[in-house]
Structure 1
């Protein structure tokens, strides 16, 4: 992390459409705040005013016709601003940052599912993210048919966004990509069955956080270095 010592904890939550990330992040934040910790909830694309503008364009499909690499560049531009204006300052002051999607989504959506060469995705990630990598990534896993059905129900009559409108085969590739990321980096990632009831998912999330990051247990002391 550039500019200041990192004393906070960076947790990202990943998964396909309708995986329940927002619900589980809100529940985890409530749990951690009971321990008198500062918890910052954020999301990608977005999280800062400039990045939210890029989010609106991306989800509207503005970049779709230009291909997945153009989309990846826009995601990266949003991520740069998000890191500089929100994530890194929060970590420097010792906060727990809970981020709904991060660099793994670029690997999965534009990389594995979109067809960008993995080396190109990795190069973008090195430049944009640098050393500010998650301490823990929770990957909520469920069949894409289930997730897309949940997403449609959540939309309440609104049309699908740029990514929800993709084919089922795209979403199947996404799921496999996230599972591959979890298998390839087990020291950072925990795969969680998101097809279970929400309370069971919450319990699994909490167990993963407290198991991997004991300093965040209720009554724990200090922060991650």
Structure 2
């Protein structure tokens, strides 16, 4: 993989709630840092003021309102965090990005066409990893959580996996580089190693 046009490499980690995105993204970040790579770990909604407001008010936001807020946060996230890090030669590992909108906002009643209108301007990552797992294993993890967001309650592992497959196909049509990772039987470190195998480490 060649570096992002601005210098660093932009990596997005995607997948249904409960598949282990956050843990895998953290493990990938640790691996890269151990190799001496400068990395910015980040997430969406972002750590910008707007992103924090979305997290705090997610239960009261829905449909088009939430989708527009998330798209605006994505613009702020790119401008404030992602693009400057890439320009400085740092790699960016983002826990969620645009594919999550194509899944979660679908669960919230919007069409793919509308979601894309709000987000088509967003710079594609150099590579997007889609984590997949057995729905029963995902459901078991979700059942262990004390708190479930409104969108988590709207979906199911089967539905989210199906919508991520649709997002994968949709973004492939726009030239996105995307890789599916089957997480069954793998530890978070194993998942990170699989992702590393798809990165050109000579470019980092």
Structure 2 CA distance, aligned partners of 1:48 and 1:87?
11
Q: Greater RCO between the two (CA within 8 Å, min separation 6)?
A: 2
Structure 2 CA distance, aligned partners of 1:151 and 1:45?
20
1:115 matched residue in structure 2: 109
Q: Deviations over 1:121-161 (max 9, x none)?
A: 1111124x1xx2111111111244432321332x3xx3322
Structure 2 CA distance, aligned partners of 1:197 and 1:207?
10
Q: Which has the larger radius of gyration?
A: 1
Structure 1 CA distance, aligned partners of 2:160 and 2:41?
24
Query: Given the two structures, how large is their TM-score scaled by the length of structure 1?
Result: 0.78
1:54 matched residue in structure 2: 54
1:160 equivalent in alignment to 2:148: yes
1:203 matched residue in structure 2: 190
1:179 equivalent in alignment to 2:165: yes
Work out whether residues 17 and 148 of structure 1, in 8 Å CA contact, stay in contact via their aligned partners in 2. Answer: no
SS in 2 for 1:110: helix
Q: Deviations over 1:171-202 (max 9, x none)?
A: 43221111233345286111112232315xx3
Q: Which runs of 5+ in 1 are unaligned?
A: none
Work out whether residues 138 and 205 of structure 1, in 8 Å CA contact, stay in contact via their aligned partners in 2. Answer: no
Deviation at 1:167, TM superposition (A): 4.7
1:194 equivalent in alignment to 2:183: yes
Count of residue correspondences: 197
Which 4+ residue blocks in structure 1 deviate beyond 6 angstroms? none
Q: Deviations over 1:60-80 (max 9, x none)?
A: x1113xxx2222111112212
Work out whether residues 11 and 136 of structure 1, in 8 Å CA contact, stay in contact via their aligned partners in 2. Answer: yes
Work out whether residues 108 and 154 of structure 2, in 8 Å CA contact, stay in contact via their aligned partners in 1. Answer: no
